[in-house]
Structure 1
Amino acid sequence: MTIEALIRGLRAELESGGLRGSFLVRDLHSGYEIGIDPDVQYPIASLIKVPLAAATLERIHRGDIDGSTTVAVQPGRITTPGPTGLSRFRHEAHVAIDDLLYLSTSISDGAAADALFDITSPAEVTRLMHQWDLHGITARHRIRDLTETPAERFEVTEVPLAHSLAITAGTTGRGHPLAQLDVTRANSGSARAFIDLLQALWTPSKIHHSIGARVRELMANNLLRHRLAPEFVSDASTWSSKTGTLLNLRHEVGVVEHADGRTFGIAALTESHVAAATQPEADTLMGWVARTLRDHLRHS
């Protein structure tokens, strides 16, 4: 099967499953890659926590901040489904910066991420990305802004209305009346930009090797493993990743390392056209498309 026929078939499967997606799979050692619309910009939700972790670790490495310093984190008092960790605490907590990195990255704790953003601003995260010659990911706001969508204001029975608004109100230029879904106002990035970041974290780059090692550890301990992980975890491989979810957006970026030494960066950024919060079929479809692309690249 030609690459063109493969991509055409995968696009049709995505459309049939109610998804539009941007995928990229790259062999991190050879540089060979295959993808579907890998340069399309998306609002990236919790994927921003990977650049945030790298930027925080850079500042620790430079001596600007001390990872053992404790930070007072106010309770999130969030009651809607989804948020984990400090976001659901009822009382103030005192947590070391290095432990906030674990909470933010490995269990996707929004309150922990915002405590880190208090230390390293979104603008500084973007600046450091550019310093590393990594472009295409822009940090603009804190994580708590993601909890201020119609989904949090509506009753549980009305959540599909929030998803309908997310699906239908966008513009052809990827603008949106909801700031969190507007690529010019939200934290944004593309599949290619995230693969570039993963390559810089997994192979020699301008990012110090100790920073890469720590981010790899945090992503290997990712607690949320329902999306792409089932397609890439085995006795002969390891899967390190970060997910991002907001309204109709479902993302995951990660690296699969095989026992034979082959290492692939994988990015899947998608938006659903189905007005439902729970869509396990979409997660399964994302994993299948990513696995199909990886298999083609691995065996070509």
Structure 2
Amino acid sequence: MKKKAAAALVFLAAAMWGFYLLGGMAASRFSPAGSPPAGAVQADSPETPLSDLEWDAMVSALSKASIAYPGRVGIYLKDLRTGRSWAYQPDRLFPSASLIKVPIMTAVFDKIARGELALEARIRLTGKDRRGGSGSLKWAREGTSLSVMELLYKMITESDNTATQMIIDHVGYSYLEYSFRKIGLVYTNITPEGMSLTSGRVARENYTTPREMALLVDRIYAGAMIDKGSSQLMLDLMKHNKGRTRLRKGLPMGWEIGHKTGLLRRSCHDVGVVFSPRGDYIIAVLTSEVPSYASAKRFIAGMARLTYGYYNIDVPYTAAGRSRNSNAI
């Protein structure tokens, strides 16, 4: 029965995801004329992994830039081809801001996999769910009904705060805390106060670490979060993130990235998996007590640009194939 239920989930998710993307509810991500399409791979790329010398030079540059930035910084980098990793203050606590939406997403998929929720289940918008900040759902009329799939899409791709609150109200804070511990998150927490959009300090903040966010994305990439089908859907959601700053800005347009950003209370983050010609890699860059959001965004883009300099191969792009593990539904 469990196998049949899992198969049904994957089939339903695939069908709904395809409908959602093709039905106009999600914005398509077409590259400008003359640019390589997202997910392109480079022609005849030998996909040679970074040598020890290149890796050492890259992490040395990352370390120097991290030390020089006038704010708190935490980074976790992992080469998914070689398994090598490097970190700078990876276990420091940072206000999670909208990075919290990634473990919320995993908690929802866990509930779906156990048959306690369905992607097609509909949730109605109430006045108490409405939140300002990111996302378009704050403008929707009270009583608007959206499926869980639609809410997840808005929560991850738009960082929609109203969609996030609707999901939280439906599953509950206690369930989310339970789910976070179940998947192995030790420092990542969630509280009602932490979900506040106030710019000042709150009594009980939401926290996370670069290591926990990076390893969470690592498990999603590997197909090990909940199950393979759920992991693929989660990765696809992250690939449709509409943000064009931070990590995305530091990478060439032809490179695919599945990521999630966060920005709140002088904290600015981005964590994701980058699909590059020389191997996929995970990078989490978290900052706090930043002098300005603009400087933090430039810093994160600079970190991505540094990695691009080493993972790039200077040959023409081709759309002949898609990057590893990018079997988008």
Output the TM-score relative to the length of structure 1.
0.76
- Please report how far the alpha carbon of residue 2 of structure 1 lies from its aligned counterpart in structure 2 after TM superposition: 6.3
CA distance in 1, matches of 2:123, 2:156: 17
- Please report how far the alpha carbon of residue 62 of structure 1 lies from its aligned counterpart in structure 2 after TM superposition: 1.4
- Please report how far the alpha carbon of residue 100 of structure 1 lies from its aligned counterpart in structure 2 after TM superposition: 0.7
Higher helix share: 1
Paired-residue identity, %: 23
Residue matched to 2:186: 135
Which consecutive unaligned segments of at least 5 residues does structure 1 have?
Answer: 152-165, 167-177
Residue matched to 1:160: none
Residue matched to 2:206: 187
- Give, as a single letter, the amino acid of the residue that structure 1 aligns with 2:82: S
CA distance in 1, matches of 2:213, 2:224: 15
- Please report how far the alpha carbon of residue 285 of structure 1 lies from its aligned counterpart in structure 2 after TM superposition: 1.6
> How do residues 117-266 of structure 1 correspond to structure 2 at under 5 angstroms?
117-141=168-192, 145-147=195-197, 149=198, 151=199, 178-179=201-202, 185-205=204-224, 207-235=226-254, 237-260=255-278, 262-266=279-283
CA spacing shift, 1:204–1:216, aligned 2, 3 Å: closer
User: SS state of the match for residue 212, structure 1?
Assistant: helix
CA spacing shift, 1:206–1:102, aligned 2, 3 Å: closer
Residue matched to 1:287: 301
CA distance in 1, matches of 2:216, 2:100: 11
Of the structure 1 ranges 226-235 and 106-115, higher mean CA displacement relative to structure 2 is found in 226-235
Residue matched to 1:88: 139
Residue matched to 1:155: none
- Give, as a single letter, the amino acid of the residue that structure 2 aligns with 1:108: S
Which consecutive unaligned segments of at least 5 residues does structure 2 have?
Answer: 1-55, 314-329
CA distance in 1, matches of 2:263, 2:100: 11
Query: How many aligned positions are there?
Result: 257
CA spacing shift, 1:213–1:5, aligned 2, 3 Å: closer
Query: For residues 191-248 of structure 1, what are the alpha-carbon distances to aligned partners after superposition, in whole Å with 9 as ceiling and x for unaligned?
Result: 000111011100142521111111111111111221210112432x201111111131
Native 8 Å contact 1:28 1:203 kept in 2: no
Query: For residues 98-146 of structure 1, what are the alpha-carbon distances to aligned partners after superposition, in whole Å with 9 as ceiling and x for unaligned?
Result: 1111111111111111111122223322322332334332222377x42
Native 8 Å contact 2:113 2:226 kept in 1: no
**C-alpha root-mean-square deviation of aligned residues, in Å?**
2.7
CA distance in 1, matches of 2:100, 2:277: 29
- The one of 110, 115, 120 equivalent to 2:161 is 110
- Give, as a single letter, the amino acid of the residue that structure 2 aligns with 1:14: Y
Native 8 Å contact 1:140 1:187 kept in 2: yes
CA distance in 2, matches of 1:215, 1:5: 32
